[in-house]
Amino acid sequence: MTKALSLRIARRRISATLALVLFGTGVLAHADDSRHQHDIHFWPGNLVLSRSVYDNKASNVQVGTILPVNCAHTTGGCGAASGAPYDGTYPYVWNNDLYDASFGITARIYLDQLTPDGHLIDSLQVPNSLLPTAPEGALVTSFSSKSELALHLSQDRKHLSFMGYVAPVNTLDVSNSNTPGAVDPTNPDGQSFYRAVATVDRKGHFSFTETNAYSGNNGRAAILLDRDGADYFFTAGNAGNGSNPQPAGVVLGAGTQFIAPAHLPEIAQLPGTSTPLASFSVTALGLKADKIGKDDNFRGMTVHDNVVYFTKGSGGNGVNTVYFVDTTGTACPNGVGVPVAGASLPKAPLAYDASTLQSNGLPTNMCILAGFPTTPAKTAKTLAYPFALWFADANTLYVADEGDGYVGGPDLYTHAAAQTTAGLQKWVYNSGSKTWSLAYTLQSGLNLGQAYTVSGYPTGTNAATDLPWSPATAGLRNLVGRVDRDGQVTIWATTSTVSGNGDVGADPNRLVAIRDALKNSSATTAAQEAFVTLRTASFAEVLRGVSFTPEQDADDRR
C-alpha cells in the first residue's frame, strides 16, 4: 500500500469517526439560513460559528477618496493625494489597504448554529443599522479584521460573548478609529466610535455594553464572569494607532479589560474611563521597555481553574507567547512561572499610578507561562503566532497558531507549507519541573500552502500585489474543544490564510475539526490524525469564532 493511499484511508476513517461517534446528537439539520430574529433557539450540543458578510457595493468606496477618514483634522496626516485607488467591489476593495493602513469597512455579524459535523441549522443576524431598530442596540465587525469575533461561553455557560463596534454598516476605517473617551490626535483615523461587548442567550436575546477601551484598534474576545455573585467581563484586544507617548486613555484601554455589564440599552449608556484587568511589560524579564501599552497586544483568552490566560501573536513589541494573570503576586518574580495552586480570579480592575502612566505604563501583574517562548519579537530568530487556547485538562493545553502570514513574494505558498509550528499545538505539563513542553503540532489535513478556489472569487494574479488571488490555509485562529467519553478530544477551529489579496483577512477561510488522543504525547502516533474541512466561507464571507451553544436555564427545561 502506498503512503498516499494510507493517508487517504486514514482521513476517511477519521471523518467517519467524527460523524458516527461525535455527531449523533439527534438534532435535525435544516438547510435554511434563517434571518427571523425571534424564532432562534440554540440547542444543546451544537456549535455556534461567528461569520461576517461584506455588503458588496461599489459605492462603499469612491475612487480618489482621501483616507483615512477625517485624516486632515488629525496630526497623523493623510495618505497620498491621489486617494483610494479602488472602489467598494469585493475583493478588489481590500487592495485599498495598501494605500490606507487603517482601511476596513464595517459589516454585519451572523451567528450560525451548526451540528458538530458542520451542517447548518439556522443563522442569527446580530442587530445592526440595516435591520429594524433593536431597542437593545446594534453592533458590527470590521470586515477583513481577522482577529475579531472570538466566541466564548460565560462561566455559567448560559451566554455567548463577543466584541464589535457601535457603528453603521459600511462605514470606512472604524477598526482604527478612536473611542469617544480616548481620542489620540496623532491617530490619522480621525473618527470616534465606541467598542462594545455583546452577549446572547439561547433564545437569541442580545445585550450590549459600550466601552472606551481599545481606542485606535480593536476588541477581540470577551468572557462573562457570572458565577458566585460575579458580574463582569474579562476582555482581550489591542489599542493605539498613533505616536508615542500615547494618551493616558489609550494606554488604559489596551490589552485586557475588566468591564462591568451595562444592563441598559446602548442609547442610555455613557461609558467612562477604561478599567484595565492586567498588563505585562518586557521589563519584567529584565529587558528595556517597549512602546508603552504595546506589549499588551492580546488576541486569544480563556479561563481555566480560576486562572485567566491570554495569548499574544502579533506586533513588533513584547513577546509572542502565552500569559496568565497572577492574582497572588508570587507566581513569577522574574516574569515567568506557573499559577499558584488555589489562586482566585481577579475581582477588581488593576490599580495603577496615574502620574507615571504615560512614562512607565501599567504595573505588571501577568506572567509568561513557563515553557512557552520568552524572547521578545524584536530579537527572536523564530516567532510563534499563538491565537486561541483550550485546556483539555490541567496537564494538556491546545494552542492554535495562525502562522506568520508571510506574503512577501511568489513563494508565499511554499513558505506557508514549510511552517513547522503553524496549526494546532499540543502542550503537556510536567509537574516535577513545573514547566510546559510542546508535544507535537497537528497539521495533516490543513493542507498548508495549498491554494483552493471559492465560487465567484477571482483566480490568476492580483495586479496590485503581483501575487495569486487564490487563498491557502496558513494556520489556525479561534478554536473550541471537548473531551469525549472514549478518551479522545475533538477540536473545531477556523483557519488563517495567505494569498495575494491586498488584505488576507478578507480571504474566504474554513472551519475544520480533528480528533486527538488526550493522553498521547507521541508525535509518531499523532501523525495518523488529520483535520477534516467542515465548511468553507463563500464569496464575500469570512469565518471567525467558534463555540458551543449556550445552555438552558432551569426554567427553560420545564
User: What is 455-468 written as a DSSP string?
Assistant: TT---SEETTTTEE
Cα(425)–Cα(441) distance, rounded to whole angstroms?
4
Residue written as grid cell 498521547: 520
pLDDT, tens digit, 9 for 90 and up, residues 9-38: 334 444 444 543 344 333 333 333 444 455
User: What are 174's three cell numbers?
Assistant: 472604524
Strand pairing category for 386-393 and 336-337 = unpaired
Output DSSP code: residue 126: P
**How far, CA to CA in Å, does 196 sit from each of 106, 142, 179, 213?**
14, 13, 11, 9
End-to-end CA distance of the chain: 56
Question: In 3D, which of 212, 200, 125, 201 has the Cα closest to residue 165?
Answer: 212
3-class DSSP assignment, residue 117: coil
Cα(436)–Cα(426) distance, rounded to whole angstroms?
10
Cα(417)–Cα(544) distance, rounded to whole angstroms?
22
Which conformational region is residue 420 in: left (phi greater than 0), alpha (psi within -120 to 50 degrees), or beta?
alpha
pLDDT, tens digit, 9 for 90 and up, residues 489-534: 999 999 999 999 999 999 999 999 999 999 999 999 999 999 999 9
Output DSSP code: residue 18: I
Letter for the amino acid at 368? I
Burial of 231 (0-12, 13-18, 19+ CB in 10 A): exposed
Reported pTM: 0.93
User: What is 34-61 written as a DSSP string?
Assistant: ---GGG----TT-EEEEEEE----GGGS
Residue written as grid cell 493623510: 78
Cα(267)–Cα(134) distance, rounded to whole angstroms?
11
**Whether the bond into 363 is cis, omega within 30 of 0:** no
As beta bridge partners, residue 368 has 323, 336
CB 233 within 8 A of CB 199: no
Letter for the amino acid at 36? H
Letter for the amino acid at 312? K
Cα(466)–Cα(469) distance, rounded to whole angstroms?
9
3-class DSSP assignment, residue 421: coil
User: What is 242-310 written as a DSSP string?
Assistant: SPSSPPHHHHHTSSEEEE----S-GGG----S--EEE---GGGGT----STTTT-----EEEETTEEEE
Letter for the amino acid at 327? T
Residue-level pLDDT, tens digit, the chain, 558 residues: 444 444 343 344 444 445 433 443 333 333 334 444 556 799 999 999 999 999 999 999 999 999 999 999 999 999 888 999 999 999 999 999 999 999 999 999 999 999 999 999 999 999 999 998 788 999 999 999 999 999 999 999 999 999 999 999 999 999 999 999 999 999 999 999 999 999 999 999 999 999 999 999 999 999 999 988 899 999 999 999 999 999 999 999 999 999 999 999 999 999 999 999 999 999 999 999 998 989 999 999 999 999 999 999 998 899 999 999 999 999 999 999 999 999 999 999 999 999 999 999 999 999 999 999 999 999 998 899 999 999 999 999 999 999 999 999 999 999 999 999 999 999 999 999 999 999 999 999 999 999 999 999 999 999 999 999 999 999 999 999 999 999 999 999 999 999 999 999 999 999 999 999 999 999 999 999 999 999 999 999 999 999 999 998 645 544
